[in-house]
Structure 1
């Protein structure tokens, strides 16, 4: 339980401050535990980032799938609606995973965590749409929204929803 609380607080700290800015001392303060306790669970700043990304990943998947409709088209549209709310509430500056890779491009643990997250989101689109052949296209729309959000906001979501709907209806 304590590790989950620390991880949730680390996720929030990285979300608010980015990855380059917070020092381990600041992360200790944000996590609300002693430095010894923090290092017990996360022996390096990079391990803290991986833990925070893993926590955010699960939160995001759970968030996307909340009250998902059964129709494949409605399900995909719903996922984009959830993405819009996620961006508004938790990621107004863009995707935290992509920011992590940008901050630590040589770190294999961070890169692997982001790759796993992105792959699972892609698989989720395949599952929810019932169209494994369109998983990559739907995933790219998702990633486009995440990247364009700081500039386009909900216009990116609306465009992605329209494109996804057309794609799913035309290529049946």
Structure 2
């Protein structure tokens, strides 16, 4: 039961942060919407910052699961393919995320913008998430510079999907990444 209340708080805060931002969403709003008392909230999260970090950790884990499962499905479907071929699966996952009803842009881009001090724990966590994505690309491409270049396409697609309500930005980024990586632009659609 305790775990359920803690998880409920994280999920409620995530929805509110997505819709209104981290700074604009107050603790009172989180308590009201979640139906949890101040005592219960502070039992699990001693501060709003700790709650934000828990939300980002939860969001990171859900994205890791999405990307890893999609890439693994591609590896199983195409076991003889070169690892770079599975870049298509990376973009399948990106597109699935963009098409989700709960897509409000990147929690980590938004958090790093609201917590601009590079030494702030929230900003640092957002940076760690982006490092994870970049490392995922590096594993697929076996090339750090190429991973950096594709990561720029990924972040651009995320912002485009959010600002312009354009989930097709993932496909556009895929096509550009395939050109950059000299891969066939055909979609391996494993999603």
Coarse TM-score class (shorter-chain normalised)? 0.7 to 0.9
- How far the C-alpha of 1:166 sits from its partner, in A, is 1.9
- Distance in 2, matches of 1:53 and 1:167, equals 31
- Distance in 1, matches of 2:99 and 2:60, equals 17
RMSD, matched Cα? 2.1
Q: Please tell me whether the aligned partners of residues 50 and 110 of structure 1 are also in contact (alpha carbons under 8 angstroms).
A: yes
- How far the C-alpha of 1:152 sits from its partner, in A, is 6.5
TM-score (norm 1): 0.86
- Distance in 2, matches of 1:17 and 1:8, equals 14
- The structure-2 alpha-carbon separation of the partners of 1:152 and 1:24, relative to structure 1 and needing over 3 Å to count, comes to closer
- Which segments of structure 1 move beyond 4 Å, counting only runs of 4 or more? none
- What is the CA deviation profile of residues 139-159 of structure 1, one whole-angstrom value per residue up to 9, with x for unaligned ones? 111111111112261342222
- The structure-2 alpha-carbon separation of the partners of 1:33 and 1:128, relative to structure 1 and needing over 3 Å to count, comes to farther
Structure 2, unaligned stretches of length 5 or more?
76-80, 184-191
Quick one: which of 163, 176, 182 aligns to 1:169? 182
- The structure-2 alpha-carbon separation of the partners of 1:79 and 1:5, relative to structure 1 and needing over 3 Å to count, comes to same
Matching of residue 48 in structure 1 with residue 66 in structure 2: no
Structure 1, unaligned stretches of length 5 or more?
none
1:113-132 alignment to 2 at 5 Å? 113-132=125-144
- How far the C-alpha of 1:161 sits from its partner, in A, is 0.6
Query: SS of the residue aligned with 1:153?
Result: coil
Hey, which of these two has a bigger chunk of helix by percent?
Answer: 1
Q: Please tell me whether the aligned partners of residues 95 and 168 of structure 2 are also in contact (alpha carbons under 8 angstroms).
A: no
- Distance in 1, matches of 2:144 and 2:116, equals 30
- How far the C-alpha of 1:91 sits from its partner, in A, is 2.2
Matching of residue 20 in structure 1 with residue 20 in structure 2: no
Q: Please tell me whether the aligned partners of residues 100 and 110 of structure 1 are also in contact (alpha carbons under 8 angstroms).
A: yes
